[in-house]
């Protein structure tokens, strides 16, 4: 029979295997190219923006707010499963080391986010506050210590079943994190930083004492872990099929006017089906919204025309190739097969929906390219986007559809 240590070891290994399996699909050649492009373009724009700043810019509060969000969002990765309600509950007294390992692992997974954010913030801090890059390591120690405090505090509050306490704690921790980080980066007298740190310690000690008699809320911990994994699987599902993930359809009544514009008639049956599938499915509509927002932010933050056009084309491609599987969305359902319609009408309808979807996204990219009065940039982006959509639908889409039919 396995002991608690063996259970933890097996759970961590299984999770890492699952993570690596899907990360291979997520960080494929397409995404890596986009990441490299986005980091390069974003870094170039960020560097140019920093050069325009002086000591009047409130860098302390800006950096503190960003890092406070990263520190406050501190989920504890427990790797608990539904069956643990029955099999591990009797072993609660022996689970201390298991949950200590969970806290340590959670810190290791989340610490890199804090490190990256602080590294990105340092040029801004040096430019506006007169600091040096040598301050990075002292600041990093303080920020990582704050992250540990948040994780332990989060674990302590999970002794409460009621979500009310969780919301209050999250809000209060964010305020304390913001105050501590602002004092740290604003270079206020040391006693202020020490005083806020003492408040943080007192807050944790008080709740550790209050909750010492409270038992673990197994159902809550399992539900939170299930929700965390579901979010990861939903993200992974944008790049590959996740077998045990069930897609969710949402009503989205506010999008009904788009459905109402569909003409009635036999020839529009598949078109209406695909439009409805796109608008009400999280995996497709959510994908379109997220990629559109990310690309728009990059385009707005860039003042270079080739970055704008390159970003627009890359994200149009990312959206297009990830929407192609929607064509087979209803393949295993009997009802579409009962339509007295030819298969060519199905392909034509999907092509039309894809063109409209990419055209809407291209329109957004063209509009945001005008940001700052750059009308020529908007026109050039629009022209390049139109040519890309035509080529994508005319050349790339038919080739991918043939591959899907072979499979």
pLDDT digits (tens, 9 = 90+) for 322-340: 888 777 766 655 556 556 5
Axis crossing angle, helix 136-157 with helix 163-185, rounded to the nearest 10: 170
- Confidence (pTM): 0.71
User: In the block, which residue shows the tokens 């699909």?
Assistant: 25
Q: How far apart are CA 93 and CA 77, in angstroms?
A: 19
Higher pLDDT, 366 or 347: 366
pLDDT of residue 108 exceeding 60: yes
Contacts of residue 255, defined as CB under 8 A and 6 or more positions apart, other chains included, come to: 279, 280
What pLDDT is attached to residue 406? 45
Higher pLDDT, 276 or 161: 161
pLDDT digits (tens, 9 = 90+) for 260-269: 556 565 556 6
Q: What is the mean predicted confidence (pLDDT) over 195-224? A: 92
What pLDDT is attached to residue 390? 92
What pLDDT is attached to residue 407? 46
The closest alpha carbon to 128, from 62, 57, 33, belongs to: 57
Q: What is the mean predicted confidence (pLDDT) over 158-169? A: 91
User: In the block, which residue shows the tokens 């809407």?
Assistant: 360
- Cβ–Cβ under 8 Å, residues 134 and 58: no
In order, the DSSP letters of 169-200 are: HHHHHHHHHHHHHHHHHTT--HHHHHHHHHHH
The closest alpha carbon to 124, from 136, 113, 112, 141, belongs to: 136
- Cβ–Cβ under 8 Å, residues 207 and 153: yes
Query: Quick one: what percent of the chain has pLDDT higher than 90?
Result: 36
What pLDDT is attached to residue 53? 83
Residue 256 — pLDDT band, cuts 50, 70, 90?
A: low
Q: What is the mean predicted confidence (pLDDT) over 113-142? A: 90
Q: Which of 64-78, 99-113, 166-180, 279-293 has the lowest mean pLDDT?
A: 279-293
At residue 333's C-alpha, the angle toward residues 331 and 338, to 5°, is 95
Residue 403 — pLDDT band, cuts 50, 70, 90?
A: low
What residues are paired with 281 via a beta bridge?
Answer: 249
Most confident of 18-32, 38-52, 97-111: 97-111
Higher pLDDT, 41 or 286: 286
């Amino acid at each position: 029979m396995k002991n608690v240590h063996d259970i933890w070891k097996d759970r961590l290994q299984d999770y890492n295997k699952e993570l690596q399996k899907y990360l291979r699909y997520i960080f494929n050649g397409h995404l890596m190219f986009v990441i490299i492009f986005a980091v390069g373009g974003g870094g170039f724009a960020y560097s140019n923006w920093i050069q325009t700043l002086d000591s009047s810019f409130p860098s302390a509060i800006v950096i503190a707010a960003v890092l406070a969000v990263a520190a406050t969002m501190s989920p504890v990765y427990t790797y608990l499963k539904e069956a643990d309600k029955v099999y591990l509950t009797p072993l609660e007294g022996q689970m201390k080391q298991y949950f200590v390992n969970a806290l340590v692992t959670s810190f290791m997974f989340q610490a890199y986010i804090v490190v990256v954010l602080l590294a990105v913030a340092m040029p801004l801090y040096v430019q506006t506050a007169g600091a040096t890059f040598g301050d990075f390591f002292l600041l990093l120690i303080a920020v990582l210590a704050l992250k540990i405090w948040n994780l332990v505090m989060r674990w302590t509050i999970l002794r409460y079943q009621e979500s009310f306490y969780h919301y209050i704690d999250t809000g209060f921790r964010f305020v304390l994190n913001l105050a501590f980080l602002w004092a740290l980066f604003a270079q206020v007298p040391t006693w202020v930083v020490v005083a806020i740190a003492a408040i943080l310690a007192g807050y944790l000690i008080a709740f550790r004492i209050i909750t010492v008699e409270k038992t673990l809320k197994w159902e809550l911990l399992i539900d939170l872990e299930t929700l965390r994994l579901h979010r990861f699987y939903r993200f992974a599902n944008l790049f590959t099929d996740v077998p045990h993930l069930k897609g969710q359809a949402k009503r989205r009544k506010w999008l009904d006017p788009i459905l109402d514009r569909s003409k009635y008639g036999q020839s529009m049956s598949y078109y209406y089906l695909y439009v409805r599938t796109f608008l009400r499915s999280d995996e497709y509509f959510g994908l379109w919204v997220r990629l559109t927002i990310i690309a728009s932010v990059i385009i707005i933050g860039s003042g270079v025309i080739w970055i704008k056009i390159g970003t627009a084309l890359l994200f149009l491609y990312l959206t297009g190739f990830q929407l192609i599987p929607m064509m087979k969305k209803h393949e295993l359902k009997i009802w579409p097969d009962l339509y007295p319609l030819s298969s060519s009408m199905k392909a034509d309808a999907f092509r039309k929906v894809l063109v409209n979807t990419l055209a809407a996204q291209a329109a957004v990219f063209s509009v945001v390219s005008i940001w700052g009065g750059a009308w020529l940039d908007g026109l050039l982006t629009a022209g390049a986007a139109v040519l890309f959509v035509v080529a994508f639908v005319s050349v790339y889409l038919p080739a991918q559809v043939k591959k899907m039919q072979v499979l």
